[in-house]
Structure 1
């Protein structure tokens, strides 16, 4: 019972600070889409995927006519991730989890509670979260890299530049599991140096 009370205390803190705003937006999200989001969160907690691509998911929602920002979807993801990870640390049953969520100060929409019930019933045994939050990673995880070559034709101070440059986009999952894109430009010499350092890292890894 103390475990359940500890979870309820953690959830109560979360509800007061986050769930209130997230619940309103969750009510706009279709049940099947929310289920997909929960499944991705479970996969992230089980270290099967580096994170949840809230940018891509947000674009899909907007395409279907649902007005929601990346920041709002990220907040929802954080709330649900906290919910599942805390339930895992406390070995909470499906019924205890649903009861606590249903009794929270800022109640989640009915369809969301149904999804949480189903997902936790399916995956509660597989989720393993360290009780020591301090051991969690504090740096981002590299997911993917893309680059493209371009030519600067002009600027405010020069009408004809015509110098080549490389645009690099890094896809990174931060410690909370949110996947974001970091884009920057490099001159050709900078890109060559960047590429050389990658080759050096690859050579070192081959000796490990």
Structure 2
């Protein structure tokens, strides 16, 4: 009996040892916004958490953090909210468990998490099942622009037109990344034809 209880304690504990130092560097207002974005993602209201944009704002506030480190924070807080939704936990129970967790979070961070969960937690528990079903990456934004080659190893002659493609994607964890690449005009035309074929197929589904 005692062994079973101990196993339950281990399963229900949270280990913040890898992220607590990162969270300590995040100003309280930006951490609150991060938590809000995570909640919105779990509610399927947004496609993902824009870690690149938040990193830029952190750096503007004098905090040195890269997107990969902020992604670790997003993973940790997402896990907390998801677990709290599945239990489900009240805001008081959540803050108590956070206070007892391995690698205890700063008091200010726990207060932010508790406040956000108290305000928005119920809606997460309603939409969590839908979130689990839709565990696939999503295309958020797609842009292109026409340019003229001035110097390039990819084109036979200068002053050749090219297309710059910018794609913003959210992965299954909600992290938003932006990819930019270039195409020649014939490559872009072929790409466009393939998209038209995909659209035609989707219309029959």
- TM range, smaller chain: 0.7 to 0.9
Aligned equivalent of 1:141: 138
Equivalent runs, 1:1-208 vs 2, <5 Å: 9-10=10-11, 12=13, 14-15=14-15, 19-128=16-125, 129-130=128-129, 135=133, 137=135, 139-155=136-152, 160-208=157-205
* Distance of 1:81 and 1:6 partners within structure 2: 23
Distance change >3 Å, CA 70–CA 25, structure 1 → 2: same
Distance change >3 Å, CA 178–CA 151, structure 1 → 2: same
8 Å CA contact 2:44–2:131 kept in 1: the answer is no
8 Å CA contact 1:44–1:177 kept in 2: the answer is yes
- How far the C-alpha of 1:144 sits from its partner, in A, is 0.1
For normalisation by structure 1, the TM-score amounts to 0.85
- How far the C-alpha of 1:58 sits from its partner, in A, is 0.4
Query: Aligned with 1:78: secondary structure?
Result: helix
Query: Aligned with 1:66: secondary structure?
Result: coil
* Distance of 1:31 and 1:109 partners within structure 2: 11
- How far the C-alpha of 1:140 sits from its partner, in A, is 1.3
Distance change >3 Å, CA 93–CA 200, structure 1 → 2: same
For normalisation by structure 2, the TM-score amounts to 0.86
Cα RMSD over matched residues? 2.7
Contiguous gaps of at least 5 residues in structure 1 = none
Contiguous gaps of at least 5 residues in structure 2 = 1-5
- How far the C-alpha of 1:206 sits from its partner, in A, is 4.4
Distance change >3 Å, CA 54–CA 6, structure 1 → 2: farther
Query: Aligned with 2:122: secondary structure?
Result: coil
Number of residue pairs aligned between Structure 1 and Structure 2: 199
- How far the C-alpha of 1:27 sits from its partner, in A, is 1.0
